[in-house]
Structure 1
Amino acid sequence: MAATPSRWIPLESNPDVLNQWASKAGLVTSQAEFVDVYGLDVDLLAMVPKPVKAVILLFPIAQTIENRRKVEDERVKNQGQHPVDPTVFYIKQTIGNACGTIGLLHALANADVTLAPESPLEKFIDECKEMTPEERAKALETTPLFANIHAEAASSGQTTATEADMHTDLHFTCFVQAPDPPRTDVGSSEPRRLLELDGRRVGPIDRGGVDKLA
């Protein structure tokens, strides 16, 4: 089996690109799809179809943001955080420029969406259920089908496709809802938690209780 490249072509932050990736991977797009969020004003958020299953955010990589994230990772590693539900699917990012695919995997694996039976995504999630985040990353590295899906989607955007060895200053992360694990030490008034899932982080980051994403 040929080795998967250590760097992929970056995905464009474009609903058409994300939907193409998702459809190829196995999402039944007649029941769920990615759309643009044009802003956080009430009127603009009202344009987003409901219910929202997940949010994929593209943000600029700046040193101040990187420093803040490193501090937060150290705090979570050393002091812990609110418990994260063990059923949450989290995968590390070990392939350069693959943050778009990592974000899509996090969104679709943790959202209540319909996947086509025996589709690449359904099989990958099922095969990775008992793996660690690092083992899932290795499985992605050795699954050429996802490299092909990513490459095809990356070349379909409105902007000119870049080279795989390009170092981009943009990064995708994902936000999903997850159950609040039962705790014996304290009662919880929030039935669900907001998690940030980013393959470059120490693990899932709990962002607090949430009623709905939008």
Structure 2
Amino acid sequence: MSINRWIPLESNPEVLNKWSEKAGLLTARAAFQDVYGLDPELLAMVNQPVKAVVLLFPITDALEAKRREEDQKITNEGPSVLDSTVLWIKQTIPNACGTIGLLHALANSNVELAPNSPLARFIEECKAKTPEERAKHLETTPLFANIHAEAASGGQTAVPTDLDTDLHFTCFVQAGSPGAYRIVELDGRRAGPVDRGALEKDLLTDVAKIVKETYVSNTSSVQFSMVALGGPPEV
């Protein structure tokens, strides 16, 4: 049986907040907002505390080669010690990387969710499952399909007739314990969570450095977009 292809989500805080609120995020407590650039003065415009960062990036030959190298290392060395503390979902639904990026952000950031909401139910149902079982659950659950379709259709650009895309979402969160936090990249296309090193300053600042060194430096494309799940919007 074939798996439905989902409409790609825009990297747009309005779209991501609409999806998240319908799924159960209490957006009066936390919300997605644009990160306008990687320089310190632009990072300072983002409401703190930042709980997660979602990056949309172009898939290029250089980035794919680096991904394969890192995935081989994960496969050879086995799961990291942080794997049990993060909820990671393998991506099996075409074009669902935006939804999986959102799920990774929301499930690993301790944000407040409405009780018995689709998000709260899905996260609870996934805790005891493997990443592959979580992927199958996402394929079959009715919790998000309508939410995704509505949010994807409500963006600023027209829904594409060709659903193939060379852009992809990934997510960064912090995991571990106070004083020993690690930055973890969660991408459903990978072989597992990617440990990006110790938290040095704060999540947004450290992720901006990782994005510069790992992503921007490996392509001449400017098709990047970054949003942060941070403090509530200013009234």
What is the TM-score with the length of structure 2 in the denominator?
A: 0.82
RMSD between superposed Cα atoms in Å? 1.7
Which residue, 171, 184, 189 being the options, matches 2:168?
171
| Runs (5+) with no aligned partner, structure 2 | 205-235
Q: Do residues 207 (structure 1) and 196 (structure 2) align?
A: yes
| Contact in 1 for aligned 2:101/2:186 (Cα 8 Å) | yes
Equivalent pairs counted in the alignment come to 203
Partner of 1:7: 5
Give distance in 2, aligned partners of 1:107 and 1:174.
6
Structure having the larger proportion of residues in helix: 2
* Mapping 1:70-109, distance limit 5 Å: 70-80=68-78, 83-109=81-107
Q: 1:76: Cα distance to partner?
A: 1.6
Structure 1 residue identity aligned to 2:137: A
Partner of 2:207: none
Task: Report what 2:37 is aligned to.
Answer: 39
Alpha-carbon separation, structure 2, partners of 1:22 and 1:98: 15
Report the counterpart of residue 144 of structure 1 in structure 2.
142
- Asked if the contact 1:100/1:172 (under 8 Å) is kept, the reply is yes
Deviation beyond 6 Å, 4+ runs, structure 1: none
Superposed CA offset, 1:29-85 (max 9, x none):
000000000001111011000000000000001111111101110012113475214
CA contact (8 A) 1:4 1:142 kept: no
Q: Distance in 2 between matches of 1:125 and 1:33?
A: 18
Kept after mapping to 2: 8 A contact 1:37/1:48 = yes
Q: Output the CA distance in 2 between the equivalents of 1:4 and 1:81.
A: 30
Cα distance, 1:4 vs structure 2 = 8.6
Q: Which amino acid aligns with 1:44?
A: L
Is this contact kept in 1: 2:56–2:168, CA < 8 A?
yes
After superposition, give the CA deviation of every residue in 1:150-187 in whole Å (9 maximum; x if it has no partner).
Answer: 11110010000124x6210100000000005xxxxxxx
Once the 2 structures are TM-superposed, how far is the Cα of residue 115 of structure 1 from its aligned partner? 0.2
Residue aligning to 2:187:
198
